[in-house]
Amino acid sequence: MDLARITRLLCQTWSYDKFIRLGAYGSKALIPIAQRLGPGELGEPLALRLAALSSAFAKYRIVTRLSGIPLTLYALGEAPSDDPVLRHCNTLLNWSNLVYYPLEHLAWLCDIGVLQRDSSALWLHSCRVWFFNIVVDLVATVHSLRLVGRAIQQLALEVQRARATSKDTDVAEQQRRLRDLSAKRQALLLKAVNVLADLGLAFHWGFPSKSPFSETAIAWLGVLGTLAGGYMRWKET
């Protein structure tokens, strides 16, 4: 096991959040399995412990996301993308995060009693902003996949032309670039799985009366999205 690589991964804020999220949704996904074991020692008591563990992970995630606002402010200062679609998407993502995080923080402060008011409306609106954020992220991801796909097609044609003219040096360099683009496309496909899973989660929490998902389905969507996003970051580390 590559402990150095695991350490580098967990030192990243986003990756650490995914690790905690896997604990929350993974525990939640195991609850129905434990309940099927019956009311004995390995049944309902285990399900209650898993529910408590999932709740603890979820509450801890909220605390760790207190860093969301400064990280988003930092992202606003980064160089914009040359592509207009990606540039506008990144702007919308950052500004929606600046709405989402304060709503979540205020809801959390209400839940722990620092603010004396009901938190349900704040949680609902924060999840709806999250839903908007994910839709924008999905648009950006699909657009990026299209750009990479076009680049791969163009580069494949260049490789064929280089081979026809016997330019071995050009072929080697273009094949290296082709491998890099293929790896980028694989990462974007993993991100698409992550984003689509999160879209289901955000719709469920943001529009609860219209959600077609059961709590078990939501748990497994959370696990799927977390594993896809975590594997993507693992490949990049």
Query: Whole domain around residue 204: which residue ranges?
Result: 68-236
Closest CA to 155 of 173, 178, 180, 171: 178
More confident residue, 126 or 173: 126
HSE toward the beta carbon, residue 49, CA cutoff 13 A: 8
At 169, the pLDDT band (50, 70, 90 cuts) reads: low
| Count of the separate structural domains present in the chain | 1
- Asked if the structure places residue 51 within a domain, the reply is no
The per-residue pLDDT for 93 is 95
Does residue 1 register a pLDDT over 60? no
Indicate whether 14 belongs to any domain.
Answer: no
Alpha-carbon distance 211 to 175, whole Å?
A: 46
**Residue 53, in any domain of the structure:** no
78 Rama class: left (phi>0) / alpha (psi -120 to 50) / beta: beta
Residue 124 placed within a domain = yes
Classify residue 58: in a domain, yes or no: no
Chain segment 83-104, per-residue pLDDT in tens: 999 999 999 999 999 999 999 9
Percent of the chain with pLDDT over 90: 59
7-38 residue pLDDT tens: 665 566 667 788 899 999 999 999 999 888 87
- Residues 13 and 71 sit within 8 Å (Cβ to Cβ): yes
Token code pair at residue 155: 């580069």
Q: Tell me what the mean pLDDT of segment 175-199 comes to.
A: 92
Whether 127 contacts 206, CB under 8 Å = yes
pLDDT digits (tens, 9 = 90+) for 59-70: 998 988 888 888
Q: What is the pLDDT of residue 13?
A: 62
The tokens describing 113, both together, are: 């009693």
- Domain assignment present for 82: yes
Residues 6+ apart with CB under 8 A from 66: 105
pLDDT at residue 120, rounded to an integer:
95
Q: What is the mean pLDDT of the chain?
A: 87
Whether 21 is covered by a domain: the verdict is no
* pLDDT score of 180 more than 70: yes
Which of 159-168, 171-180, 221-230 has the least mean pLDDT?
Answer: 159-168
Euclidean distance between CA atoms 160 and 22, whole angstroms: 44
